[in-house]
Amino acid sequence: MRFIKLGLISIVFLFLVITAISLLLPSTVNVSRAIDISAPADSVSANISDLSRRKYWFANYDSSQAIVSKNSFGVGASIKIGRTTIDLVEAKAGKITTLWTSGSKTLHGDFNIFKQDSGSHITVQWHFSQHVPWYPWEKFASIASDKIMGPGMEKSLDNLKKLVEK
């Protein structure tokens, strides 16, 4: 009986220590990638804002699972790829905001388009922001977000660059 009691107290104490350590981790995870492109900002913005054009540059696009809404361009457009739904919530000059929903998880995605001084180059920044619950397993899993999402974002931005620089 004494060993069972010691075991239970040890498990509770270990859980509290792990929870305390996880509270030191940030509650918001940001993943960002950027690329310089030699193309007009309007062309880049049009390819990002039109969700039906994602098949040409988005690295994780699976045409067999993609369902595009009737309105595929501008605010209110949406696309469903597998279990993930992408909704376009804002499209202004220089900034396009999307909301990515997969199950109960939501990510805010922003595309920022910055014109360079020369005028012939632009920088496209793709930024994801995710609120992480206080649960220790969620906090520790968020450490790998950059390594999981980053390569796909880089490949997508490279594909976008190749598409608009033709």
Contact 26, 128 (CB under 8 A): no
Look up the pTM and report it. 0.84
Q: What share of the chain is helix, strand, coil (3-state, %, to 5)?
A: 40, 35, 25
- Chain segment 97-139, per-residue pLDDT in tens: 999 999 888 999 999 999 887 767 899 999 999 999 988 988 9
* DSSP 8-state assignment for residue 14: H
Which architecture does CATH list for 27-164?
A: 2-Layer Sandwich (3.30)
Q: What is the pLDDT of residue 6?
A: 93
CA atoms of 119 and 126, how far apart (whole Å): 20
Contacts of 144 by beta carbon, 8 Å cutoff, 6+ apart: none
- Chain segment 55-73, per-residue pLDDT in tens: 899 887 777 778 888 888 8
Domain boundaries, the chain: 27-164
Helical spans, DSSP H, in 23-110: 41-49
Sign of CA dihedral 162, 129, 113, 70: positive
Q: How far is CA 100 from CA 14, 60, 152, in A?
A: 35, 13, 15
Tokens of 3: 């060993």
